[in-house]
Structure 1
Amino acid sequence: MNELAALTDDQRAKLQNTRRRVIESIGKNMDLYGITLSIGHLYGNMYFNQEPVTLDEMSETMGMSKTSMSTGMRTLHDLKMINKVWGKGSRKDLYEVVPDWHQNFADFFSIKWRKAVDQNMSVLNRSMKEIDALKQQYESDEAFLEVLNNDSKKIDDAIKYYKWLDRLIDSFETGDIFRFIPKEDEA
Protein backbone atom coordinates (compact mmCIF):
# COMPACT_ATOMS: atom_id res chain seq x y z
CA MET A 1 0.00 0.00 0.00
CA ASN A 2 2.55 2.55 -1.17
CA GLU A 3 -0.11 5.21 -1.78
CA LEU A 4 -0.60 5.53 1.98
CA ALA A 5 3.05 6.35 2.65
CA ALA A 6 2.68 9.96 1.48
CA LEU A 7 -0.28 10.62 3.79
CA THR A 8 -0.14 12.09 7.26
CA ASP A 9 -1.05 9.85 10.19
CA ASP A 10 -4.38 11.68 10.54
CA GLN A 11 -5.18 11.29 6.82
CA ARG A 12 -4.22 7.63 6.88
CA ALA A 13 -6.39 6.94 9.95
CA LYS A 14 -9.42 8.70 8.44
CA LEU A 15 -8.98 6.91 5.12
CA GLN A 16 -8.60 3.53 6.81
CA ASN A 17 -11.78 4.14 8.84
CA THR A 18 -13.69 4.92 5.65
CA ARG A 19 -12.27 1.87 3.91
CA ARG A 20 -12.96 -0.36 6.91
CA ARG A 21 -16.68 0.50 6.76
CA VAL A 22 -16.80 -0.37 3.05
CA ILE A 23 -14.80 -3.58 3.58
CA GLU A 24 -17.17 -4.62 6.37
CA SER A 25 -20.14 -3.91 4.12
CA ILE A 26 -18.63 -5.96 1.29
CA GLY A 27 -17.99 -8.83 3.69
CA LYS A 28 -21.57 -8.79 4.98
CA ASN A 29 -22.96 -8.58 1.45
CA MET A 30 -20.90 -11.54 0.26
CA ASP A 31 -21.93 -13.48 3.37
CA LEU A 32 -25.54 -13.22 2.13
CA TYR A 33 -24.45 -15.16 -0.98
CA GLY A 34 -22.80 -17.97 0.95
CA ILE A 35 -19.25 -16.65 0.90
CA THR A 36 -17.65 -16.47 4.32
CA LEU A 37 -17.31 -13.10 5.96
CA SER A 38 -13.52 -13.44 6.03
CA ILE A 39 -13.35 -14.07 2.27
CA GLY A 40 -15.64 -11.06 1.78
CA HIS A 41 -13.23 -8.99 3.88
CA LEU A 42 -10.34 -10.33 1.81
CA TYR A 43 -12.02 -9.16 -1.40
CA GLY A 44 -12.83 -5.81 0.23
CA ASN A 45 -9.20 -5.29 1.28
CA MET A 46 -7.95 -6.26 -2.16
CA TYR A 47 -10.49 -3.93 -3.76
CA PHE A 48 -8.67 -0.93 -2.34
CA ASN A 49 -5.17 -2.08 -3.34
CA GLN A 50 -3.61 -0.08 -6.14
CA GLU A 51 -1.26 -2.89 -7.13
CA PRO A 52 -1.37 -6.70 -7.22
CA VAL A 53 -0.54 -8.42 -3.92
CA THR A 54 0.96 -11.71 -2.79
CA LEU A 55 -0.54 -14.17 -0.34
CA ASP A 56 2.06 -13.12 2.21
CA GLU A 57 1.15 -9.43 1.89
CA MET A 58 -2.58 -10.11 2.29
CA SER A 59 -1.93 -12.53 5.14
CA GLU A 60 0.00 -9.82 6.97
CA THR A 61 -2.61 -7.13 6.21
CA MET A 62 -5.50 -9.22 7.44
CA GLY A 63 -3.78 -11.19 10.19
CA MET A 64 -4.85 -14.49 8.67
CA SER A 65 -2.80 -17.67 8.37
CA LYS A 66 -1.23 -18.36 5.02
CA THR A 67 -3.40 -21.49 4.70
CA SER A 68 -6.61 -19.51 5.28
CA MET A 69 -5.38 -16.82 2.92
CA SER A 70 -4.62 -19.41 0.23
CA THR A 71 -8.09 -20.91 0.59
CA GLY A 72 -9.69 -17.46 0.38
CA MET A 73 -7.67 -16.48 -2.68
CA ARG A 74 -8.52 -19.78 -4.38
CA THR A 75 -12.23 -19.25 -3.66
CA LEU A 76 -12.15 -15.70 -5.06
CA HIS A 77 -10.17 -16.89 -8.09
CA ASP A 78 -12.61 -19.75 -8.75
CA LEU A 79 -15.47 -17.23 -8.57
CA LYS A 80 -13.60 -15.01 -11.07
CA MET A 81 -13.46 -12.15 -8.57
CA ILE A 82 -9.66 -11.93 -8.60
CA ASN A 83 -7.04 -12.68 -11.23
CA LYS A 84 -3.60 -14.15 -10.90
CA VAL A 85 -1.19 -11.79 -12.65
CA TRP A 86 2.45 -11.77 -13.62
CA GLY A 87 4.80 -9.36 -11.88
CA LYS A 88 8.20 -8.49 -13.27
CA GLY A 89 10.91 -9.78 -10.97
CA SER A 90 8.49 -11.54 -8.61
CA ARG A 91 8.66 -15.27 -8.03
CA LYS A 92 5.48 -15.30 -5.97
CA ASP A 93 1.96 -15.39 -7.33
CA LEU A 94 0.38 -11.96 -7.50
CA TYR A 95 -3.34 -11.33 -7.34
CA GLU A 96 -5.50 -8.38 -8.26
CA VAL A 97 -9.17 -7.81 -7.81
CA VAL A 98 -11.61 -7.72 -10.72
CA PRO A 99 -13.17 -4.33 -9.95
CA ASP A 100 -16.29 -4.76 -12.13
CA TRP A 101 -18.96 -5.61 -9.58
CA HIS A 102 -21.52 -6.18 -12.33
CA GLN A 103 -19.32 -8.84 -13.88
CA ASN A 104 -18.49 -10.30 -10.47
CA PHE A 105 -22.21 -10.69 -9.77
CA ALA A 106 -22.84 -12.21 -13.21
CA ASP A 107 -19.93 -14.65 -12.86
CA PHE A 108 -20.80 -15.64 -9.30
CA PHE A 109 -24.42 -16.37 -10.03
CA SER A 110 -23.68 -18.02 -13.35
CA ILE A 111 -21.31 -20.45 -11.65
CA LYS A 112 -23.72 -21.20 -8.79
CA TRP A 113 -26.92 -21.29 -10.85
CA ARG A 114 -25.42 -23.38 -13.67
CA LYS A 115 -24.44 -26.06 -11.16
CA ALA A 116 -27.93 -26.02 -9.59
CA VAL A 117 -29.66 -26.13 -12.98
CA ASP A 118 -27.57 -29.08 -14.14
CA GLN A 119 -28.20 -31.02 -10.92
CA ASN A 120 -31.93 -30.30 -10.86
CA MET A 121 -32.46 -31.01 -14.57
CA SER A 122 -30.75 -34.36 -14.12
CA VAL A 123 -33.06 -35.27 -11.22
CA LEU A 124 -36.18 -34.04 -13.03
CA ASN A 125 -35.36 -35.89 -16.26
CA ARG A 126 -34.65 -39.09 -14.35
CA SER A 127 -37.95 -38.72 -12.47
CA MET A 128 -39.85 -38.16 -15.74
CA LYS A 129 -38.40 -41.39 -17.16
CA GLU A 130 -39.48 -43.23 -14.02
CA ILE A 131 -42.99 -41.77 -14.28
CA ASP A 132 -43.19 -42.78 -17.96
CA ALA A 133 -42.16 -46.33 -17.02
CA LEU A 134 -44.77 -46.39 -14.25
CA LYS A 135 -47.44 -45.17 -16.70
CA GLN A 136 -46.66 -48.11 -18.98
CA GLN A 137 -46.54 -50.58 -16.10
CA TYR A 138 -49.85 -49.41 -14.61
CA GLU A 139 -51.68 -48.31 -17.77
CA SER A 140 -54.92 -49.92 -16.62
CA ASP A 141 -54.99 -48.24 -13.18
CA GLU A 142 -56.76 -44.95 -13.87
CA ALA A 143 -56.44 -43.56 -10.34
CA PHE A 144 -52.69 -44.15 -10.29
CA LEU A 145 -52.35 -42.77 -13.86
CA GLU A 146 -54.11 -39.59 -12.75
CA VAL A 147 -51.61 -39.15 -9.91
CA LEU A 148 -48.73 -39.85 -12.30
CA ASN A 149 -50.09 -37.36 -14.85
CA ASN A 150 -50.39 -34.69 -12.15
CA ASP A 151 -46.81 -35.34 -11.04
CA SER A 152 -45.67 -35.34 -14.65
CA LYS A 153 -47.30 -31.91 -15.19
CA LYS A 154 -45.59 -30.51 -12.08
CA ILE A 155 -42.21 -31.88 -13.14
CA ASP A 156 -42.75 -30.53 -16.66
CA ASP A 157 -43.43 -27.08 -15.17
CA ALA A 158 -40.22 -27.35 -13.15
CA ILE A 159 -38.27 -28.34 -16.29
CA LYS A 160 -39.68 -25.29 -18.09
CA TYR A 161 -38.51 -23.11 -15.20
CA TYR A 162 -34.98 -24.56 -15.31
CA LYS A 163 -34.83 -24.07 -19.09
CA TRP A 164 -35.80 -20.42 -18.52
CA LEU A 165 -33.17 -20.14 -15.76
CA ASP A 166 -30.62 -21.65 -18.16
CA ARG A 167 -31.40 -18.88 -20.69
CA LEU A 168 -31.10 -16.29 -17.91
CA ILE A 169 -27.68 -17.69 -17.01
CA ASP A 170 -26.70 -17.50 -20.68
CA SER A 171 -27.67 -13.82 -20.67
CA PHE A 172 -25.39 -13.23 -17.67
CA GLU A 173 -22.52 -15.10 -19.30
CA THR A 174 -22.83 -13.27 -22.63
CA GLY A 175 -23.54 -9.90 -21.04
CA ASP A 176 -26.91 -9.65 -22.83
CA ILE A 177 -28.56 -9.03 -19.45
CA PHE A 178 -27.03 -5.55 -19.50
CA ARG A 179 -29.03 -4.67 -22.63
CA PHE A 180 -32.22 -5.21 -20.62
CA ILE A 181 -30.95 -3.83 -17.32
CA PRO A 182 -28.09 -1.45 -18.16
CA LYS A 183 -25.32 -0.70 -15.72
CA GLU A 184 -25.69 2.71 -14.08
CA ASP A 185 -22.92 4.28 -16.15
CA GLU A 186 -24.61 2.95 -19.30
CA ALA A 187 -28.17 4.01 -18.49
Structure 2
Amino acid sequence: MTHPNTEFLTNKIMLEFSKTLELFGLTTLESRLFAYLYLSKEPLTLDEMSEALGKSKTSMSTSVRSLSELNLVSRVWKKGIRKDLYQANTQLFKIFMSTYIKKWIDASNRQKTSLEEIYESIDVNKDHQESKEAVQNINHRLYDIIEFHKDMENLFSNIKL
Protein backbone atom coordinates (compact mmCIF):
# COMPACT_ATOMS: atom_id res chain seq x y z
CA MET A 1 0.00 0.00 0.00
CA THR A 2 1.42 3.37 -1.00
CA HIS A 3 0.93 6.58 0.94
CA PRO A 4 0.08 9.78 -0.92
CA ASN A 5 2.87 12.33 -0.89
CA THR A 6 2.44 15.42 1.25
CA GLU A 7 2.03 17.81 -1.67
CA PHE A 8 -0.84 15.76 -3.11
CA LEU A 9 -2.45 15.45 0.31
CA THR A 10 -2.00 19.15 1.06
CA ASN A 11 -3.59 20.11 -2.28
CA LYS A 12 -6.52 17.77 -1.70
CA ILE A 13 -7.14 19.16 1.82
CA MET A 14 -6.73 22.75 0.58
CA LEU A 15 -9.31 22.19 -2.15
CA GLU A 16 -11.91 20.78 0.21
CA PHE A 17 -11.22 23.14 3.12
CA SER A 18 -11.29 26.19 0.84
CA LYS A 19 -14.83 25.25 -0.26
CA THR A 20 -15.92 25.56 3.37
CA LEU A 21 -14.09 28.86 3.81
CA GLU A 22 -15.82 30.33 0.75
CA LEU A 23 -19.13 29.89 2.61
CA PHE A 24 -17.87 32.64 4.94
CA GLY A 25 -17.48 35.13 2.10
CA LEU A 26 -13.79 34.64 1.31
CA THR A 27 -12.73 34.68 -2.31
CA THR A 28 -11.41 31.46 -3.84
CA LEU A 29 -7.83 32.74 -3.62
CA GLU A 30 -8.22 33.93 -0.02
CA SER A 31 -9.70 30.57 0.90
CA ARG A 32 -6.90 28.62 -0.77
CA LEU A 33 -4.25 30.87 0.78
CA PHE A 34 -5.68 30.56 4.26
CA ALA A 35 -5.93 26.78 3.91
CA TYR A 36 -2.31 26.63 2.73
CA LEU A 37 -1.07 28.82 5.59
CA TYR A 38 -3.10 26.78 8.07
CA LEU A 39 -1.52 23.56 6.86
CA SER A 40 2.02 25.03 6.82
CA LYS A 41 4.26 24.21 9.75
CA GLU A 42 6.19 27.47 9.49
CA PRO A 43 5.22 31.07 8.71
CA LEU A 44 5.68 31.94 5.04
CA THR A 45 6.82 34.93 2.99
CA LEU A 46 4.78 36.38 0.14
CA ASP A 47 7.29 34.85 -2.29
CA GLU A 48 6.79 31.38 -0.81
CA MET A 49 3.01 31.74 -0.93
CA SER A 50 3.17 33.00 -4.51
CA GLU A 51 5.29 30.07 -5.62
CA ALA A 52 3.16 27.49 -3.80
CA LEU A 53 -0.16 28.74 -5.16
CA GLY A 54 1.05 29.82 -8.58
CA LYS A 55 -0.22 33.36 -8.19
CA SER A 56 1.53 36.73 -8.31
CA LYS A 57 3.15 38.28 -5.27
CA THR A 58 0.71 41.20 -5.64
CA SER A 59 -2.25 38.80 -5.44
CA MET A 60 -0.73 37.22 -2.34
CA SER A 61 -0.20 40.63 -0.73
CA THR A 62 -3.81 41.66 -1.40
CA SER A 63 -5.18 38.37 -0.09
CA VAL A 64 -2.96 38.41 3.01
CA ARG A 65 -4.15 41.95 3.75
CA SER A 66 -7.80 40.85 3.51
CA LEU A 67 -7.17 37.84 5.72
CA SER A 68 -5.31 40.02 8.24
CA GLU A 69 -8.26 42.42 8.43
CA LEU A 70 -10.47 39.45 9.31
CA ASN A 71 -7.96 38.37 12.00
CA LEU A 72 -7.37 35.09 10.15
CA VAL A 73 -3.69 35.71 9.43
CA SER A 74 -0.97 37.38 11.50
CA ARG A 75 2.38 38.83 10.57
CA VAL A 76 5.16 37.25 12.61
CA TRP A 77 8.78 38.08 13.22
CA LYS A 78 11.72 35.67 13.09
CA LYS A 79 15.25 36.57 14.01
CA GLY A 80 17.50 36.90 10.98
CA ILE A 81 14.69 37.09 8.40
CA ARG A 82 14.11 40.52 6.87
CA LYS A 83 11.00 39.67 4.84
CA ASP A 84 7.55 39.72 6.35
CA LEU A 85 6.31 36.31 7.44
CA TYR A 86 2.66 35.33 7.81
CA GLN A 87 0.88 32.51 9.57
CA ALA A 88 -2.73 31.46 9.94
CA ASN A 89 -4.43 32.00 13.26
CA THR A 90 -5.46 28.59 14.52
CA GLN A 91 -8.66 29.21 16.49
CA LEU A 92 -10.79 28.48 13.45
CA PHE A 93 -14.24 28.08 14.93
CA LYS A 94 -14.08 31.13 17.17
CA ILE A 95 -12.58 33.43 14.52
CA PHE A 96 -14.89 32.38 11.70
CA MET A 97 -18.03 32.32 13.80
CA SER A 98 -17.25 35.70 15.41
CA THR A 99 -16.67 37.24 12.00
CA TYR A 100 -19.74 35.60 10.50
CA ILE A 101 -22.00 36.56 13.40
CA LYS A 102 -20.76 40.17 13.32
CA LYS A 103 -21.51 40.37 9.58
CA TRP A 104 -25.02 38.99 10.14
CA ILE A 105 -25.71 41.43 12.98
CA ASP A 106 -24.42 44.40 10.95
CA ALA A 107 -26.34 43.42 7.80
CA SER A 108 -29.53 42.69 9.72
CA ASN A 109 -29.28 46.00 11.58
CA ARG A 110 -28.72 47.98 8.34
CA GLN A 111 -31.71 46.32 6.69
CA LYS A 112 -33.90 46.79 9.76
CA THR A 113 -33.05 50.50 9.87
CA SER A 114 -33.90 50.92 6.16
CA LEU A 115 -37.16 49.03 6.59
CA GLU A 116 -38.09 51.10 9.65
CA GLU A 117 -37.56 54.28 7.63
CA ILE A 118 -39.97 52.97 5.00
CA TYR A 119 -42.45 51.94 7.69
CA GLU A 120 -42.38 55.41 9.25
CA SER A 121 -42.93 57.07 5.87
CA ILE A 122 -46.15 55.18 5.13
CA ASP A 123 -49.36 57.08 5.86
CA VAL A 124 -52.20 54.56 5.78
CA ASN A 125 -54.87 57.30 5.98
CA LYS A 126 -53.60 59.32 3.03
CA ASP A 127 -54.70 57.12 0.09
CA HIS A 128 -58.09 56.44 -1.49
CA GLN A 129 -60.44 54.13 0.37
CA GLU A 130 -59.97 51.16 -2.01
CA SER A 131 -56.15 51.30 -1.79
CA LYS A 132 -56.18 52.04 1.94
CA GLU A 133 -56.74 48.37 2.70
CA ALA A 134 -53.87 47.35 0.40
CA VAL A 135 -51.53 49.88 2.05
CA GLN A 136 -52.55 48.61 5.50
CA ASN A 137 -51.79 45.05 4.37
CA ILE A 138 -48.35 46.06 3.07
CA ASN A 139 -47.76 48.03 6.27
CA HIS A 140 -48.63 44.95 8.36
CA ARG A 141 -46.31 42.74 6.29
CA LEU A 142 -43.54 45.33 6.56
CA TYR A 143 -43.96 45.33 10.35
CA ASP A 144 -43.56 41.52 10.32
CA ILE A 145 -40.38 41.82 8.22
CA ILE A 146 -38.94 44.36 10.67
CA GLU A 147 -39.75 42.02 13.57
CA PHE A 148 -38.01 39.20 11.67
CA HIS A 149 -34.86 41.35 11.41
CA LYS A 150 -35.05 42.20 15.11
CA ASP A 151 -35.36 38.50 15.97
CA MET A 152 -32.38 37.68 13.76
CA GLU A 153 -30.30 40.42 15.33
CA ASN A 154 -31.24 39.22 18.84
CA LEU A 155 -30.46 35.61 17.97
CA PHE A 156 -26.99 36.41 16.66
CA SER A 157 -26.30 38.80 19.54
CA ASN A 158 -27.14 36.03 22.01
CA ILE A 159 -24.73 33.56 20.41
CA LYS A 160 -21.92 36.08 19.99
CA LEU A 161 -18.63 34.44 20.98
Give TM-score, length-normalised by structure 2. Answer: 0.82
The percent identity for this pair of structures is: 29
Cα distance, 1:114–1:86 mapped onto 2, change above 3 Å: farther
The DSSP-based 3-state class of the residue aligned with 1:83 is strand
Partner of 1:94: 85
Query: What's the CA shift for 1:162?
Result: 1.4
> After the TM superposition, which segments of 4 or more aligned residues of structure 1 sit over 6 Å from their partners?
none
Q: What amino acid sits opposite 1:71 in the alignment?
A: T
Contact 1:106 1:172 in 2 (8 A): no
Give TM-score, length-normalised by structure 1. Answer: 0.72
Structure number with the bigger relative contact order (C-alpha 8 A, sep ≥ 6) is 2
Partner of 1:76: 67
Gaps of 5+ in 2: none
Partner of 2:12: 21
- Matching residue within 151, 157, 161 for 1:164: 151
Gaps of 5+ in 1: 1-9, 176-187
- Matching residue within 45, 59, 65 for 2:50: 59
Q: C-alpha separation between the residues in 2 aligned to 1:95 and 1:37?
A: 19
Measured against aligned partners, the alpha-carbon deviations of 1:107-136 in whole angstroms (never above 9, x if no partner) come to 3312432342133122201111111xx225
Q: CA RMSD in A?
A: 2.4
Alignment of 1:143 onto 2:134: no
Alignment of 1:85 onto 2:76: yes
Alignment of 1:121 onto 2:108: no
